[in-house]
């Protein structure tokens, strides 16, 4: 596909392993000590407590609830005394997010998508598959297109992450966003942040993309806005 | 009738049309156009479309419909802006939460037609009151004043914003200028191609879907589900999962075992650490081949053809198809001992509230349902499976939760368009069709399959029976063509498979198959498909859209070997459409639709730009469902699990050229959202047949 990155390893993996929603965890470098034993502050203080404790393998009417056995006592307060013995600190990662430095504490194999959405409340990148095939989360890492659902946070350390939120210059839209408005591309809108980020990445590589170049965009739009996406990319290219 | 409500700012309300939309969606034959007089008039404001002019000069209409991409908020904003002479940027259309009575159903392509009267009446009355208030203030005859850009103007150039007049206008009981909507000849907004009012929010990433909401304390939640449809939980060992970092709760959910965690990453990881024993679902021994043969056996007999006639016959099979909206099912739920609050995208929020209330054991009045914009629907959000599930998990975990189905959950556990089998026979004699018969069978959702979610997550009583029936009267019964004696019958195969109405419902399969047969009859009679349709179509409007695509699409132009054109037409929702497709099937296993030309007559097209978008979407639906996108059932489980194997069209499958032609009309609006699917699907199949010299019979073709 000229001028386009092919489907990444995640895209080729998913058909053979369609059940995985956490593809990065499969390939994650083993950091068991960190990811399995680290307990975040929130987890300790906000553990749900339910009364209907049940025996190990049976499911009773209601909640499975906290483990009734004391093999793994569940800490319920922040008191250091109740923490599991093997607790170690969560690693922290710093990167530039839409031009601003951020630091997050997260397991190394946590996909950037969930770091953005669940830890940093940056919700422009959307979850659509978790395996890098729908590309609704498409964003940029050092200016290159990525699918944050299959990129580990550890791989973003000290780099520049740009999401749809970082594309406009204040109130002035990026030319591709403006072309999207001019062509009224969006329908439900859910895939469009990813579509726009993919288009921006394409135009960076190929200032005047051919139809074949545009055909190389893998992002799914279930509403079927493809014709307007094509028109908007050409419009942005013509103005570019 | 329009009411005025007591308020300190100007607030007017109109009863909302409660037409037979669900039936229209389910009975594609209904030939009668929607009646604007078919409205439910009640006395309480919660049942009505309410318009408010704020002191900040905003016009706010809380809409009892959901926006899922179809552009209903923009269309309503245009109706309001038209009658009020307000700037469209000053009109806000938030989505109303679930009400207790009235018509809050989004479906059956009914939103624009049901809102067209009430919205305009509402705004026209508001305008009359604002003008009357300004006239009083300025001591001028009201008839000298005019309105523009959310302001009232006097002949001497003075002006006042609606916002500055709203308090005094609220006290006007008898406006001194007409409060009737403008005649269509004076429309300046309705009918003008308009960009979506939410477009800027979308392109900047600000548009919020359920999963983007920051509801206090609502933690990411996922559910471990069985490998087979309807599989049952036998046992679970959740110790490892609960010991994982960031995990707040592990609770039993009706569909499996739910994990509540700090992030979706933690939730997925803990879900995968659950050690679960599942019992296979009720269909564990059932696969596609058997489903197909059961469907074939359930098709009623074709009657006896007229004596002396020649037969053109075809049997058609359609696979299950996932709705697969881009935004997976997501619901935020906060269930307390005495009340509950749920946020999600729903086409049927009133039914959802009742179902959620009964599931968690609260009176409906204690359940608040917030309707959130949806990332696509295509019928999927008629059901509220995820909202009920989220509510039950919140109750069990005793905390607010943000439940998200994974994409694999969405595709593997339904819902889907039912698989179906069709047998169609056209009998011709003397160069014309003298009898046309279509018998069919489709899968219907059996009672045993209706666990908690199907029984309670389904659509309301008004819709359920129609959807549950395999097929109502056949689309061909509406007399689209002069085909002599038209007959049909339908059977069904009950299976425990979660089904749902899919954009254009039965028409998507039935009319597609019929349009293929129409082409084959034309071929048997040695006639051109367009010419044959022109002489056999009954309705002038349908002939007109067909002529439009034939002319605009240069029907009959010479194409290289392996390429061909195809056409099809469809009539439903008080509207009609034609589609012309050009396909390159040089590689028959990897065909590409290169061009699509559509023409539609939907009566008044409130927003031609939005209508074009809907037609564009249905073209992609036609391309996908005919060529590539379907679901396999392997021993009771759905084989597909993401867009990698559920092969919905991507950019490289979309036409390089698309155009839509909208027929001018002064009729009241018909429906449009689902209209194009059967025509697009039929045209793709007919183009493929002509390009390859084959007879398409089983869909999707490259499956």
For residues A12 and A150, give the distance between their C-alpha atoms in angstroms, rounded to a whole number: 12
CA distances in angstroms from B341 to B254, B263, B335, B387, B399, listed in the order given = 20, 21, 6, 10, 12
- Check: CB of residue B491 under 8 Å from CB of residue B299: yes
In chain A, which residue's Cα lies nearest the Cα of B609? A184
Domain borders along chain A are 9-28+91-239
At B292-338, the pLDDT tens digits run: 999 999 999 999 999 999 999 999 999 999 999 999 999 999 999 99
Picking from B373, B211, B89, the residue whose alpha carbon sits closest to that of residue A186 is: B373
> Is residue B648 in some structural domain?
yes
DSSP-derived 3-state class of residue B427: strand
Residues of A in contact with B204 (CB under 8 A): 124, 164-165, 167-168, 173, 177
* Mean pLDDT score across all residues of chain B: 90
**Looking at beta carbons, which residues of chain B come within 8 Å of A165?**
204-205
Q: Are both B518 and B623 inside the same structural domain?
A: yes
ω into residue B700 within 30 of 0, thus cis?
yes
Asked whether residue B205 is domain-assigned, the answer is no
Q: Which of A58, A128, A193 sits opposite B205 (nearest CB)?
A: A193
In-domain check, residue B608: yes
The answer to whether A237 touches A203, Cβ cutoff 8 Å, is yes
Q: DSSP label at B473? A: S
Is the CB of residue A225 less than 8 Å from the CB of residue B617? yes
Residue A87 neighbours by CB under 8 Å, 6+ apart: A37, A38, A39
Q: What is the mean pLDDT of residues B626-640?
A: 98
pLDDT digits (tens, 9 = 90+) for B461-518: 333 333 333 344 454 456 899 999 999 999 999 999 999 999 999 999 999 999 999 9
Dihedral pair phi/psi, residue B654, rounded to 5°: -85, 155
CA distance B498 to B513: 24
Query: Cβ B328–A46 below 8 Å, yes or no?
Result: no
pLDDT digits (tens, 9 = 90+) for B416-444: 999 999 999 999 999 999 999 999 999 99
pLDDT tops 90 at residue B101? no
- Report how far residue B84's alpha carbon sits from residue B152's, in angstroms, rounded to the nearest whole number: 10
Average pLDDT over residues A26-55: 32
The confidence score (pLDDT) of residue B668 equals 95
DSSP string, B511-553: HHHHHHHHHHHHHHTT--HHHHHHHHB--HHHHHHHHHHHHHT
Residue B289 has pLDDT above 70, yes or no: yes
| pLDDT tens figures, B673-698 | 999 999 999 999 999 999 999 999 99
How much of chain B exceeds pLDDT 70, in percent? 89
Angle of the A175-182 helix axis to the A226-239 helix axis, nearest 10: 130
B272 at interface of A, judged by CB pairs closer than 8 A: yes
Which chain B residues are closer than 8 Å to A16 by Cβ?
Answer: none
Q: Are residues B628 and B659 in the same domain?
A: yes
CB B441 within 8 A of CB B298: yes
Q: Smallest Cα–Cα separation from B222: which of B191, B274, B255, B268?
A: B268
* CA-to-CA dists, residue B134 to A75, B52, B82, angstroms: 67, 17, 19
Q: Model confidence over B571-594: pLDDT tens digits?
A: 999 999 999 999 999 999 999 999
Q: Which of residues 274-293 of B touch A (CB under 8 A)?
A: 277
Residues of B in contact with A229 (CB under 8 A): 651
Domains in chain B, number: 3
pLDDT of the residue at A49: 31
The residue among B208, B224, B246, B360 with the most chain A CBs within 10 A of its CB, best to mutate, is B246
Long-range contacts (CB closer than 8 Å, 24 or more residues apart) made by B352-360: B352/B98, B352/B384, B352/B387, B352/B388, B353/B98, B355/B384, B355/B388, B355/B456, B355/B457, B356/B384, B356/B387, B356/B388, B356/B391, B358/B456, B359/B388, B359/B391, B359/B392, B359/B452, B359/B456, B360/B335, B360/B391, B360/B392, B360/B395
Q: What tokens were used for B57?
A: 């000069």
CA–CA distance from B598 to each of B242, B274, B645, B695 (Å)? 55, 51, 29, 23
Look at B251 and A136 and tell me if their CB atoms are within 8 Å.
no
- Dihedral of CA atoms A141, A144, A148, A153 in degrees, nearest 10, equals -30
Closest residue in A to B373 (Cα–Cα): A188
Confidence band of B356 (pLDDT split at 50, 70, 90): very high
Put simply, the answer to whether B252 touches A64 (Cβ < 8 Å) is: yes
Highest mean pLDDT among B16-25, B448-457, B602-611: B602-611
Residue listed under structure tokens 């005649």: B183
CB pairs under 8 A between A and B: 294
More confident residue, A39 or B258: B258
Alpha carbons B18 and B32: distance in angstroms, whole number? 16
Is residue B505 domain-resident? yes
Tell me the percentage of chain A whose pLDDT exceeds 90. Answer: 62
- Both structure tokens of B650: 């991507």
Nearest to B386 by CA among B239, B258, B276, B482: B258
Indicate the residue of B200, B243, B396 with minimum beta-carbon distance to A62: B396
Residue A222 has its nearest CB partner, among B222, B326, B641, at B326
**CB–CB contact A224 B654 (8 Å):** yes
Query: In 3D, which of B513, B516, B571 has the Cα closest to residue B540?
Result: B571
B residues 306..335 contacting A (CB < 8 A): 324-328
Does B237 lie in the same domain as B119?
Answer: no
Fold held by A9-28+91-239: Ubiquitin-like (UB roll) (3.10.20)
Say whether B421 sits in a helix, a strand or coil.
Answer: strand
Is residue B387 within 8 Å of residue B370, measured between CB atoms? no
Strand partners, B570: B577
Which of A66, A110, A221 lies nearest to residue B265, judging by beta carbons? A110
Tell me whether residues A190 and B406 touch, CB distance under 8 A.
Answer: no
Contacts of B407 in chain A (CB under 8 A): 21, 128-131, 134
Q: Is the same domain home to B666 and B580? A: yes
pLDDT exceeds cutoff 80 at B449? no
B199 touches chain A (CB under 8 A): yes
Residue B141 lies in a domain: yes
Which of B644, B647, B677 is the best residue to mutate to test the A interface, defined by the most A CB atoms within 10 Å of its own CB? B644
CA distances from B638 to B226, B433, B563, B645 (A): 11, 41, 34, 11
| Range of weakest confidence among A49-53, B12-16, B35-39, B145-149 | B35-39
Q: What is the pLDDT of residue B22?
A: 33
> For residue range B523-573, what is the model confidence (pLDDT) as tens digits?
999 999 999 999 999 999 999 999 999 999 999 999 999 999 999 999 999
Helix or strand holding residue B122 (H, E): helix B111-138
Give a yes or no: residue B488 inside a domain: yes
pLDDT score for B16: 60
* Sheet with B146-148, edge to edge strand ranges: B146-148, B151-153, B159-161
The shortest C-alpha distance from B639 to chain A (Å) reads 9
Distance to chain A for B184, nearest Cα, Å:
25
Chosen from A27, A184, A224 to mutate, greatest number of chain B CBs within 10 A: A224
Nearest residue of chain A to residue B673 (CA atoms)? A223
Q: How far apart are CA B313 and CA B164, in angstroms?
A: 69
Read off the pLDDT of each residue in B143-168 and give the average, rounded to a whole number.
96
d(CA B500, CA B418): 8
Distance CA A62, CA A77 (A): 25
Assigned token pair, B81: 């802006």
Domain boundary among B171, B200, B229: B200
pLDDT digits (tens, 9 = 90+) for B64-85: 999 999 999 999 999 999 999 9
Q: Are B47 and B205 in contact (CB under 8 A)?
A: no
User: Can you tell me which residue has the tokens 């009950």?
Assistant: B494
**Residue B573: inside a domain:** yes
- Which of A134, A222, A233, A235 has the most B C-beta neighbours within 10 Å, making it the best mutation to test the interface with B? A222
Which of A31-40, A185-194, B40-49 shows the lowest mean pLDDT across its residues? A31-40
Q: Are residues B457 and B351 both part of a single domain?
A: no
CA distance A225 to chain B (A): 6
Q: Does B73 touch chain A (CB under 8 A)?
A: no
For range B255-276, the mean pLDDT: 97
Residue B163 CB partners (closer than 8 Å, separation 6+): B53, B54, B55, B56, B57, B58, B150
User: What pLDDT does residue B414 have?
Assistant: 85
Asked if residues A191 and A134 have their Cβ atoms less than 8 Å apart, the reply is yes
Query: In sequence order, what DSSP letters do the residues of B149-163 get, joined into one string?
Result: TTEEE-TTS-EEEHH
Last residue of a domain, one of B341, B374, B404: B404
**CB < 8 Å to A226, chain B:** 616, 620, 649-651, 654
pLDDT of residue B255: 86
Nearest to A111 among B239, B265, B613 (CB): B265
**Which residue in B has a C-alpha nearest to residue A118's C-alpha?**
B263
Per the structure block, which two tokens stand in for B257? 């075992």
Instruction: Give the residue carrying structure tokens 């307000």.
Output: B86
In the block, residue with structure tokens 């994982």? B244
Same domain for B365 and B426: no
**Nearest CA-CA distance, residue A59 and chain B, Å:** 6
**Residue A171 burial by CB count (10 A; 0-12/13-18/19+): exposed, middle or buried?**
exposed
CA separation for the pair B245, B554 (Å, rounded)? 64
- Which tens digits make up the pLDDT trace of B191-223? 999 999 999 999 999 999 999 999 999 999 999
- C-beta atoms of A19 and B408 within 8 A: yes
- Chain A residues inside the 8 Å CB shell of B208: 123
Same domain, B444 and B384: no
Cβ-defined contact of B195 to A224 (cutoff 8 Å): no
Chain-chain contact of B375 with A126 (C-beta, under 8 angstroms):
yes
Instruction: Let me know whether B572 and B661 are in one domain.
Output: yes
Of B205, B248, B654, which is closest to A47 when you measure between CB atoms? B248
Residues pairing with B327 in the sheet: none
Instruction: Name chain A contacts of B266, Cβ cutoff 8 Å.
Output: 43
Which candidate, A77, A81, A80, A67, places its Cα nearest to that of B244? A67
Based on the fold, state whether residues B112 and B158 are members of the same structural domain: yes
> What CATH number did the domain enclosing B343 receive?
3.30.365.10
Pair of tokens at residue A136: 């609704």
pLDDT of residue B143: 96
Please report the residues numbered 620 through 679 in chain B whose beta carbons come closer than 8 angstroms to any beta carbon of chain A. Answer: 620-621, 640-645, 648-652, 654-658
CA B315 to mean position of chain CA atoms: 28
The tokens for B478 are 């509406």
Residues B484 and B624 in one domain: yes
Model confidence pLDDT, tens digit, residues B237-248:
999 999 999 999
Kindly give, in sequence order, each residue whose CB lies less than 8 Å from that of residue A96, ignoring residues fewer than 6 positions away.
A102, A159, A160, A161
Query: Which of A50, A120, A129 is best to mutate for the B interface (most B CBs within 10 A)?
Result: A129
Interface predicted TM-score (ipTM): 0.92
- pLDDT, one tens digit per residue, over A119-154 is 999 999 999 999 999 999 999 999 999 999 999 999
Question: Which chain A residue has its CA at the smallest distance from B372's CA?
Answer: A188
Nearest chain B residue (CA) to A196: B203
B53 & B141 share domain: yes
Q: Which domain holds residue B577?
A: 291-321+415-699
Among residues B145, B179, B200, which one ends one of the domains? B200
- What distance in Å separates residue B391's CA from the closest CA in chain A? 13
Does B71 contact A187 at a Cβ distance shorter than 8 Å?
A: yes
- Please indicate whether, in this complex, the C-beta atoms of A57 and B237 are within 8 angstroms of each other: yes
Residue A238 scores a pLDDT above 70: yes
B111 lies in the same domain as B225: no
DSSP structure class, residue B558 = -
For residue A51, pLDDT over 80 is answered with no
Minimum-distance CB partner of B257 among A64, A164, A191: A64
> CB distance A220–B643 less than 8 Å?
yes
A188-208, pLDDT tens digit by residue? 999 999 999 999 999 999 999
Whether the CB of B228 is below 8 Å from some CB of chain A: the reply is: no
- DSSP per-residue string spanning chain A: -TTSPPP-HHHHHTTTSTT-S-HHHHH----HHHHHH---HHHHHT----S----TT---SS---S--SSSSPPP-SS-GGGS-TT--PPPEEEEEETTEEEEEE--TTSBHHHIIIIIS---SSPPS-SSSSS-TT-EEETTEEE-GGGSBGGGGTTSEEE-GGGTSBTTBPPHHHHHHHHTT--SS-TTHHHHHHHHHHHHHH-SS--HHHHHT-----TT--HHHHHHHHHHHHHH-
Contact status, residue B415 vs residue B325, Cβ threshold 8 Å? no
């Amino acid at each position: 596909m000229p001028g386009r990155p092919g489907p990444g390893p995640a895209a080729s993996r998913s058909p053979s392993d369609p059940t995985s929603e956490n593809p990065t965890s499969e390939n994650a470098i083993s950091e068991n000590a960190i990811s399995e034993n680290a307990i975040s502050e929130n987890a300790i203080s906000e553990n749900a407590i339910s009364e209907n404790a049940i025996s190990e393998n049976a499911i009773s009417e209601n909640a499975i609830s906290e483990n009734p056995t004391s093999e793994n006592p569940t800490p319920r307060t922040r008191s250091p005394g109740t923490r599991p013995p093997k607790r170690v600190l969560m690693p922290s990662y710093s990167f530039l997010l839409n031009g601003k430095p951020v630091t997050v504490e997260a397991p190394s194999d946590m996909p950037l998508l969930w770091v953005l959405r669940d830890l940093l409340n940056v919700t422009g990148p959307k979850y659509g598959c978790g395996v890098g095939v729908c590309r609704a989360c498409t964003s940029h890492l050092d200016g290159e297109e990525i699918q944050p659902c299959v990129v580990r946070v550890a791989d973003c350390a000290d780099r520049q992450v740009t999401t749809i939120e970082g594309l406009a210059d204040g109130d002035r839209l990026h030319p591709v966003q403006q072309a999207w408005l001019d062509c009224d591309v969006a329908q439900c809108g859910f895939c469009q942040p990813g579509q726009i980020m993919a288009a921006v990445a394409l135009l960076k590589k190929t200032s005047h993309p051919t139809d074949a170049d545009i055909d190389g965009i893998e992002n799914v739009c279930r509403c079927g806005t493809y014709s307007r996406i094509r028109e908007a990319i050409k419009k942005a290219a013509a103005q570019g | 009738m329009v009411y005025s409500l007591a308020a300190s700012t100007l607030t007017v309300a109109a009863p909302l049309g409660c037409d037979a939309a669900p039936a229209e969606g389910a009975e594609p034959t209904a030939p009668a156009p929607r009646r604007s007089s078919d409205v439910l008039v009640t006395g309480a404001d919660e049942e009505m479309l309410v318009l408010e002019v704020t002191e900040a000069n905003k016009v706010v209409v809380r809409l009892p419909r959901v926006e899922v991409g179809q552009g209903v908020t923009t269309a309503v904003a245009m109706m309001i802006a038209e009658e009020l002479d307000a700037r469209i940027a000053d009109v806000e259309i938030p989505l109303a939460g679930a009400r207790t009575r009235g018509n809050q159903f989004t479906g059956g392509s009914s939103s624009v037609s049901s809102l067209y009267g009430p919205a305009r009446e509402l705004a026209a009355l508001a305008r009359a009151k604002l003008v009357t208030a300004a006239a009083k203030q300025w001591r001028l005859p009201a008839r000298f004043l005019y309105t523009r850009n959310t302001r009232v103007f006097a002949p001497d150039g003075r002006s006042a914003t609606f916002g500055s007049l709203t308090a005094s206008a609220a006290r006007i009981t008898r406006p001194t200028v007409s409060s009737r909507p403008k005649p269509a000849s004076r429309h300046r907004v309705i009918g003008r191609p308009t960009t979506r009012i939410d477009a800027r929010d979308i392109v900047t990433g600000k548009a919020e879907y359920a999963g983007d909401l920051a509801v206090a304390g609502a933690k990411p939640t996922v559910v471990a589900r069985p490998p087979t449809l309807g599989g049952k939980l036998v046992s679970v060992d959740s110790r490892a999962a609960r010991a994982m970092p960031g995990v707040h709760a592990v609770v039993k959910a009706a569909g499996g075992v739910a994990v509540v965690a700090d992030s979706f990453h933690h939730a997925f990881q803990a879900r995968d650490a659950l050690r679960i024993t599942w019992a296979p679902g009720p269909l564990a021994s059932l696969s596609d081949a058997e489903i197909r043969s059961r469907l074939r056996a359930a098709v009623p007999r074709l009657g006896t053809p007229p004596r002396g006639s020649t037969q053109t016959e075809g049997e058609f099979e359609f696979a299950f198809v996932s709705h697969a909206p881009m935004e997976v099912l997501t619901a935020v739920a906060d269930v307390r001992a005495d009340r509950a609050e749920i946020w999600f995208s729903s086409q049927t929020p009133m039914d959802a509230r009742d179902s959620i209330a009964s599931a968690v054991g609260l009176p409906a009045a204690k359940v608040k349902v917030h309707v959130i914009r949806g990332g696509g629907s295509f019928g999927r959000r008629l059901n509220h499976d995820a909202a009920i599930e989220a509510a039950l998990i919140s109750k069990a975990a005793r905390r607010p939760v943000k439940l998200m189905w994974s994409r694999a959950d969405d595709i593997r556990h339904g819902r889907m368009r039912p698989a179906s089998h069709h047998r169609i026979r056209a009998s011709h004699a003397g160069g014309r069709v003298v009898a046309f018969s279509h018998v069919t069978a489709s899968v219907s959702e059996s009672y045993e399959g209706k666990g908690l979610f199907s029984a309670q997550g389904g659509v309301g009583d008004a819709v359920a029976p129609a959807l549950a029936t395999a097929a109502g009267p056949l689309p061909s019964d509406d007399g689209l063509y002069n085909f002599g004696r038209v007959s049909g019958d339908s059977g069904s195969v009950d299976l425990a498979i979660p089904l749902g109405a899919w954009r254009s419902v039965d028409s998507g399969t039935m009319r597609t198959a019929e349009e293929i047969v129409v082409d084959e009859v034309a071929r048997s009679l040695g006639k051109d498909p367009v010419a044959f349709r022109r002489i056999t179509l009954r309705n002038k409007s349908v002939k007109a859209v067909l002529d439009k695509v034939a002319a605009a699409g240069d029907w009959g132009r010479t194409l290289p070997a392996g390429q061909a054109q195809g056409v099809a037409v469809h009539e439903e929702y008080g509207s009609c459409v034609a589609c012309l497709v050009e396909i390159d099937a040089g590689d028959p296993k990897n065909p590409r639709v290169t061009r699509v030309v559509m023409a539609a007559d939907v009566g008044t097209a409130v927003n031609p730009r939005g209508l074009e978008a809907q037609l564009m979407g249905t073209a992609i639906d036609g391309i996908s469902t005919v060529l590539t996108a379907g679901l396999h059932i392997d021993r009771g489980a759905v084989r597909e699990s993401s867009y990698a194997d559920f092969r919905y069209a991507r950019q490289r499958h979309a036409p390089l050229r698309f155009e839509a032609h909208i027929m001018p009309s002064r009729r009241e609006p018909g429906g449009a959202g689902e209209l194009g699917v059967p025509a697009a699907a039929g045209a793709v199949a007919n183009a493929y047949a002509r390009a390859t010299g084959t007879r398409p019979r089983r869909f999707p073709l490259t499956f």
